[in-house]
Structure 1
Amino acid sequence: MGRNIWGCWQSVFSTPVLYGSLALFTSILHNVFLLYYVETFVSIYKIDKVSFWVGEAVFLIWNSLNDPLFGWLSDRAFLNSPQSGSQITAPEVVLKRLNALSTNGPLFALSFLGFWVAWARPSLQFLLCLCVYDGFLTMVDLHHSALLADLAVSATDRTRLNFHCSVFSALGAFSVFLSYSVWDKENFYYFRLFCVSLAAFSILGFFFVSRLLQHRFKKEIHPKQDEASSLKELCVGSAPLTQSEKPVTVGQYLRQLSKHTNFMWFVSMNLIQVFHCHFNSNFFPLFLEHLLSDSISASTGSILLGISYIAPHLNNLYFLTLCQRYGVYQVIRWLFMLKLGLSVVMLLAGADHIYLLCIFIASNRVFTEGTCKLLKLVISDLVDEDFVVNRRQQATSALLFGMVALLTKPGQTFAPLIGTWLLCVYTGYDIFEKQSVSAPDVASSSGNPPLRLGCFYILVSVPITCALLQLAAWSRFTLHGRKLQGIKNLRQGAQHSHFVDVKAI
């Protein structure tokens, strides 16, 4: 009886479930951060425009550099050939990542709390909170994403892991529903309590789930490691070959990456995708206020907001089944075309079709975020190609994810800067001076269109521009179809030559 109960628990809390649950502890905090941090500093702490732009500029630099920096610190040992004859094994890589998650996850949750209490001058607090929060978020995201490439090689196994991430990310998006009910710029107390509760839940989750995964991995992998050690002693002839190789320097790695054509086309497309995702998140409340507030109730706005955060994860479950059938490349291409088509239809329909506008505002974010959820699978494929083409001893998953972030994270900073600039230039409305200007009356003595119409044109023109640029870049990406399958076969063949199979977890 006891064994049956234990077996039931083992099946419920399988490795994919535990891996996916780590996404829950990140998403419940990060969704709230994306939605409210700009509004908090602008409307509540009254940060001035210069401090906001300076803070975002410094954050742009830090946000871009910390990913490859932390990735290099994490994976630099994997670029060096073993000098003592002892090779780093795949299980040791996984355990190292889990140990990093058990430490940095709780610290990430604590850094989240720094935004919601005024403890310094707004300019200083804005800069420090953004940099500290993003530093720990980067560590968590790098190691969690790298595990996707380290735990599995086949598209089926990676899709299964990503499937569970989508399920738990959808659950984490419910924090948006709850946050909207306690968000009040005049009385911040209940929102602060809500954020403390989310952070406490996230701290406990990161600690216990990562420790449980470590325990399970060690328990199931140690017998295979003992067997590997015995076999390794018999493989005397293979050691001298590896010892003659030299470590890969930073310069050599960057030169290798610059020749990785698929990597360069992917980051070009992904830079635009990151910009569009954060543009939608940062300006979603603004579009609701100026395009729909006179036509829908507050509860309807709350539902739209919640759906826009939950539906991408639920949609991703369907997208992943399509990926298994048609491939990730084709599904992403269809999503770009869908984004372009919906935006053109909305532009032709105009701003007066309220129900169509509601559907478009929600679906624009749903399909844009849905695309983002699939990109980790593409980066994992790039990890495989890098491993095969450069004949690495161990895949540098975290480092490659970090290099992708180096070139694409600037889109996260460009989104609020370009968005506020477009709004000011096109409508004459400055969100930093909205206390002195009556927003509905901002029309155009200077030739600018009214605020509502300006918001509408910005809403539809941004996705049209992004979709066209992304389709152009994505058409040059060749890591799909037979070429991708060939790369995976070569990496799986290389991994089978190692003594311990990662997927034993």
Structure 2
Amino acid sequence: MMSLRCRLKGRVEFYYGAMAFFQTVLHNIFLLYHVDLFVSVYKIDKMSFWIGETIFLIWNSFNDPLFGWLSDKQYLSPSKKNSENSNSALEIVTNRLNALMYNGPLLAVSFILFWFPWGFPGLQFVVCLCLYDGFLTLVDLHHSSLLADLAVSAKERTKLNTMSSLFSAFGSASVFFSYSVWSKENLHSFRIFCSCLAVFAFVGFVVAANLMKQERKRTLKKSFSYDDSWSNRSDEYDDPVGPSVKPGIGTFVSQLGKQYNFIWFTIMNLIQVFHCHFNSNFFPLFLENLLGNSVSSSFGSFLIGISFLAPHVNNLFFLELCKRYGVYAVIQLLFSIKLALSLFMFFMGPNNMWLLCLFIASNRVFTEGTCKLLNLVISDLVDEDYVIHNRKKAVSALIFGSTALLSKPGQTLAPLVGIWLLSIQTGHDIFQTSDKIVSLQVDEAGQNSPEQYRQGCFNLLVYIPILCAIVQIAVWSQFKLHGHRLRWVKSCRTGTDHSLI
């Protein structure tokens, strides 16, 4: 009986990881090439680029809490019947899977729209960004929420996150192949490659979501109930302490504003999202201008691929550390490593090619590695919100969406701030060139020499992680949802203790 139950859980973990795989094969390509495509190939003008990014910033900031609210607002109200409560956990997960089954294929369709010119560059830029990010948000929101809805215990959540990281590592293989077909002069092969990825992901989302739903039905037919590790507990602790209220959006925002752990996490996550996307957007620039002819194109392809693959592989090791020392301590360690490596590279300078190769790759590894652990922290914030506000059911999508309200703007700010800082450091405006984004422009007065440009790129490479790490270490020290506080929240969530000692 127990072995069959474990097999069923294992299949759920497998399908959960598979959906991360299909998202990764598309999103890594988007991160790496979309800015370069519009600036260097479609020749978008500076004004259209900034207008598009501004519109995207607004949409990107508010679609997460909007979709989270639409998904989970009914769960904020107390249920009237205990029978309804006992089935609501099952309904929540089923609704999440239905959303993934429909929005995953739409994400694949919106991904295709980037790579084929169909309108004015400025119009295509903003439409593609908003469509893609809308469906990406829906997929990521419901997939991440499943982490909190399927599991309560840290052990089970770590298993789900481990499977997700493992499949994401396989999904990073798309980056290895993409660099070999990427050519700004002729995008034919690259477009075929992206079309194949989109079709593959389209089918994959439908199949994985359906199989996961079937697995749940098979579990019910075998009369296996989900224990507190899989979030279908009996609701013996559903009665809230104090009067029952029906909260609206204003009440929820007010409650969230008083959760200081949520606020500190959001500030830290804003910087983390900014740094992750900065690394992805400017990776080709650093590769070409800092390494130049010192490395072959095949090695460049390998370095890009490794930088996307290694964070997922390393995350398997980081998750093991989380089991032993806790997520808080591991993230704190990763911030310290990022700061130490950046300072070391700053003092070594830009002339050691192999150290540069190692730093460019490791910078992404440790930054992305931190990002992969943050869903575990948000799941703990879901638990804390559930406990301190005496909710009938955890509002996972709302919490995940709300954390993105102030953190996802970092995705938009990364290319804008990066381009602005690049202009300050090098005196070079990429919108004034008819050549590629990473080309060296030397004016007649010799004020913008290749060596000055290279030094400016190096400064950008090391200054950003140093500043990000310093601020993140300071902010993360204020986060208190770990140790005794976290143990108390977990005990309350599983119904073993409702007293704070």
TM-score normalised to the size of structure 1? Answer: 0.91
Q: Does 1:477 align with 2:486?
A: no
Q: Distance in 2 between matches of 1:101 and 1:195?
A: 21
Asked if structure 2 preserves the Cα contact closer than 8 Å seen for 1:63 and 1:409, the reply is yes
Q: Does 1:27 align with 2:28?
A: no
Residues 6-405 of structure 1: pairs in structure 2 closer than 5 A:
14-83=11-80, 86-87=84-85, 89-221=88-220, 224=223, 245-405=244-404
Instruction: Kindly provide the CA deviation profile for residues 437-491 of structure 1, in whole angstroms up to 9, marking residues without a partner as x.
Output: 9615369638997100000011000000000000000000011112111111110
Over aligned residue pairs, what C-alpha RMSD do you find?
Answer: 2.7
Residue of structure 2 equivalent to 1:503: none
Asked if structure 2 preserves the Cα contact closer than 8 Å seen for 1:68 and 1:399, the reply is yes
TM-score normalised to the size of structure 2? Answer: 0.91
Closer, same or farther: CA 243–270 of 1 in aligned 2, 3 Å: closer
Q: Distance in 2 between matches of 1:305 and 1:419?
A: 19
Asked if structure 2 preserves the Cα contact closer than 8 Å seen for 1:82 and 1:242, the reply is no
Which runs of 5 or more structure 2 residues have no equivalent in the other structure? Answer: 228-233
Q: Distance in 1 between matches of 2:187 and 2:497?
A: 53
Closer, same or farther: CA 124–238 of 1 in aligned 2, 3 Å: closer
Q: Distance in 2 between matches of 1:377 and 1:110?
A: 30
Displacement of 1:429 in angstroms is 1.1
Instruction: Kindly provide the CA deviation profile for residues 378-410 of structure 1, in whole angstroms up to 9, marking residues without a partner as x.
Output: 000000000000000000001100000111000
Residues 423-442 of structure 1: pairs in structure 2 closer than 5 A:
423-435=422-434, 439=440, 441=442
Amino acid at match of 2:487: Q
Q: Distance in 2 between matches of 1:364 and 1:253?
A: 37
Residue of structure 1 equivalent to 2:230: none
Displacement of 1:186 in angstroms is 1.1
Amino acid at match of 2:323: Q
Amino acid at match of 1:465: L
Asked if structure 2 preserves the Cα contact closer than 8 Å seen for 1:347 and 1:460, the reply is yes
SS in structure 1 opposite 2:113? helix
Q: Distance in 2 between matches of 1:259 and 1:451?
A: 47
Q: Distance in 2 between matches of 1:402 and 1:453?
A: 39
Residue of structure 2 equivalent to 1:3: none
Asked if structure 2 preserves the Cα contact closer than 8 Å seen for 1:444 and 1:450, the reply is no
Residue of structure 2 equivalent to 1:458: 460
Displacement of 1:203 in angstroms is 0.9
SS in structure 2 opposite 1:351? coil
Residues 407-446 of structure 1: pairs in structure 2 closer than 5 A:
407-435=406-434, 439=440, 441=442, 445=447
Q: Distance in 1 between matches of 2:487 and 2:283?
A: 40
Closer, same or farther: CA 126–104 of 1 in aligned 2, 3 Å: same
Q: Distance in 2 between matches of 1:110 and 1:249?
A: 35
Displacement of 1:432 in angstroms is 1.5
Closer, same or farther: CA 243–323 of 1 in aligned 2, 3 Å: closer
Asked if structure 2 preserves the Cα contact closer than 8 Å seen for 1:82 and 1:243, the reply is no
* Percent of residue pairs bearing the same amino acid type: 55
SS in structure 2 opposite 1:493? coil
Asked if structure 2 preserves the Cα contact closer than 8 Å seen for 1:80 and 1:248, the reply is yes
Displacement of 1:354 in angstroms is 0.7
Closer, same or farther: CA 483–19 of 1 in aligned 2, 3 Å: same
Residue of structure 2 equivalent to 1:501: none
Displacement of 1:15 in angstroms is 1.2
Q: Distance in 1 between matches of 2:288 and 2:196?
A: 28
Which runs of 5 or more structure 1 residues have no equivalent in the other structure? Answer: 1-6, 229-234, 497-505
Q: Distance in 1 between matches of 2:374 and 2:237?
A: 37
